[in-house]
A = this chain, B = another copy of it.
Amino acid sequence: MFNNIINSLPAELTNETFDTLLTANNIKIERIVSKGHTSPASGWHDQEDNEWVLVLEGAGTILFEDGREVTMRKGDYLHITAHVKHKVSWTDPDRQTIWLAVHYPVPT
């Protein structure tokens, strides 16, 4: 497993890549690399866990079911509460976008 999040980018990106950097105590830290990829046209992500997401390189747009759209660039971070429906409506087609996502459970 790589231990550098930027130097170890996939050579080709037919599909988005998802790499788990840490799983422990119901937390998952994940690197996602996109290049022009978006969520499927129909349907929404509806997640059991909360998510804190940061763009490390590139840019992408998150569309929420309520119509809100947030374009995130390098350094931008966003909190996506569990079950708030969303999708990735755009990512930069010309370069890799690196996302760092921290998934953590809803307090019980």
A-side residues, CB < 8 A to B, are: 3-7, 21-22, 24-25, 27, 29, 50, 52, 54, 56, 73-79, 100, 102, 104-107
**In contact, B4 and A77 (Cβ under 8 angstroms):** yes
Q: Which residues of B contact A3 (CB under 8 A)?
A: 76-78
Chain B residues near A5 (CB-CB < 8 A): 54, 75-77
Interchain nearest-CB distance for A74 vs B (Å): 6
Closest chain B residue to A106, Cβ basis = B25
Identify the closest chain B residue to A5 (Cβ): B75
Contact B56 A104 (CB under 8 A): no
Provide 21 A-B residue pairs closer than 8 Å at the C-beta atoms, listed in order of the A residue: A3-B77, A4-B73, A4-B75, A4-B76, A4-B77, A5-B54, A5-B75, A6-B74, A6-B75, A21-B52, A22-B52, A22-B79, A22-B102, A24-B107, A25-B50, A25-B104, A25-B106, A25-B107, A54-B100, A100-B100, A104-B104
